[in-house]
Amino acid sequence: MQRVSSDFMNDDMQFWARRRERDMASAETKMARQSKIENLRDDPLSAARAVRYDSASARLDRYEKNAAWAEDQYKVSEDYVRQTIDITQRLREIAVQGGNGVYGKEDQKYMAQEVDQLLAEMVSMANSRGADGTFIFSGDKSRTQPFREITGSAPGAAGQVLVGVQYLGAQGGPSAEISEGDYMPLGQSGADVFWAERQQAVSGFDARDWRASADSTVLIDGKSVGVKAGDNVYALAAKINDSGAAVKATIDPRSFSLSLETTTAHQMRVEDAPATAGGPGGSVLKELGLIAKTGSAPDNWAPSARVSGGSLFDAAIKLRDSLNRGDALETGGAGIAGLDAGLDNLNRRVAEIGARSQRLQATSSRLNREIPDTAKLASEETDLDLTKAVTDYKMLEYAHKASLSFSGRLFSQTLLDFLR
């Protein structure tokens, strides 16, 4: 004989009642969050795609902020470069006046005083800081003042004057990622902006019999050039030319010495790479008599090397000194030529900033379209159809109320019924 227990029916009723309550609570949570995914098991594929879309949206937002920040940096640096152009143009006007032979030596000394003040202002421009307190033209060394003034005595000048300007910043600069794997530099190095002429360095060492004794590495404007044991100077020159650095290497046909010349107006940095776990070091450039055994780039040239090509500051200093000497020929010749070279370089840097700004604007326009498109894709995966959700919730609620009402009539007996 089988026995039907009322406890079994009660447990079964409670199980389904709690299950409906759980479903109702889940529906309420989804409506509150307006998301159809409460747990990953609700829709694993949609959840996975939504995570990818959310990650993509976060990256696009970061790219958009980086592009806006870079554009702001360009505007600030462009303003300072344009002000430097105005100063350089005034220096050129003075050079033309001092070189026409009309003014006497006393008048030229007065012009030299103005040149000295304009030179000081130019150095101040080069050492400008951005809104965040970092130096604009110091490259990667954003907390280091890029240019150091060297004072001393100059012929015809009264007292201590500026006789040189040394660059202490780095050659490169910080970059910002504006799209996947695509980086845009945030500024320009002072060694590039405030340079006037192409720099050339010619070694005084006869390298016709030179051979590399071991594998080593040299750095040309930050580009690594690998040297193999047995390479001669011609192989080294070919590797430098293929390195991508803005430097051209040649071999002097008479002295058989290594010659390096920048392809654009900027200060050249060459050095032997130190030995590290990632690659060999060496002393190739020291052996070739191009750099000294001590010192750091860019002021590490060997005493026997012939180095030419100066900065915009050097051109202004030469102009001042020629005016103090009353040398109209020097003022109207080399003085104007150096300033013209500096103006050409400054204008090229402004054009470079403008080209980068145009690219950033195009990038921002593209990101403004991609961000809402990606958000829409994520929305399609996770957003809740509120009308359907409310309908489903009401159906669950009606079913739950009906089951509770039926259970109340089915299990109407109480403890008092069994005690009677």
Sign of the torsion formed by the C-alpha atoms of 150, 155, 156 and 158: positive
- For residue 87, give every residue at least 6 positions away whose Cβ sits within 8 Å of its Cβ, in sequence order, or none: 118, 121, 122, 125
Domain count, the chain: 2
Beta-strand relationship, 270-272 and 306-308: unpaired
pLDDT at 1: 47
Tell me, yes or no, whether 360 lies in a domain.
yes
Segment-wise mean pLDDT, segments of 10 residues, the chain, 420 residues: 58 70 69 65 70 85 92 92 96 93 89 94 94 89 92 83 92 85 88 94 94 92 92 95 94 92 94 70 89 89 93 95 91 92 95 93 91 79 66 71 67 58
pLDDT confidence of residue 417: 58
Confidence (pLDDT) at 6: 58
First to last CA, the chain: 26
- Cβ neighbors of 396 (< 8 A, separation 6 or more) are 20, 23, 24, 27
Question: Which domain, by its residues, includes 353?
Answer: 52-195+323-371
Parallel/antiparallel/unpaired status of strands 161-167 and 147-152: antiparallel
CA distance 57 to 26: 27
Is 142 among the domain residues?
Answer: yes
Provide the pLDDT for residue 228.
93
Examine residue 83 and state whether it is found in any structural domain, yes or no: yes
Same domain, 296 and 328: no
Radius of gyration of the chain (CA): 37
Residue 101: inside a domain, yes or no? yes
Do 213 and 163 lie in one domain? The reply is no
> What is the C-alpha separation between 159 and 163, in angstroms, rounded?
12
Determine contact, residues 236/258, Cβ cutoff 8 Å: yes
Q: Do 183 and 56 fall into the same domain? A: yes
- For residues 282 and 337, membership in a common domain is answered with no
- Counting other chains too, the contacts that 397-405 makes at CB distance below 8 Å and 24 or more residues apart are 397/24, 399/20, 400/17, 400/20, 400/21, 400/24, 403/13, 403/16, 403/17, 403/20, 404/17
Give pLDDT, residue 297.
87
Same structural domain, 205 and 153: no
Handedness of CA 359, 360, 361, 366 (dihedral sign): positive
Q: What tokens appear for 245 in the block?
A: 């650095």
Residues 57 and 137 occupy one common structural domain: yes
- Are 353 and 284 contained in the same domain? no
Q: What is the pLDDT of residue 277?
A: 42
Same domain for 142 and 177, yes or no, is yes
What's residue 374's pLDDT?
84
Look up the CATH number of the domain holding residue 237.
3.30.70
**Which candidate, 112, 108, 144, 114, places its Cα nearest to that of 126?**
144
Tell me, yes or no, whether 160 and 222 share the same domain: no
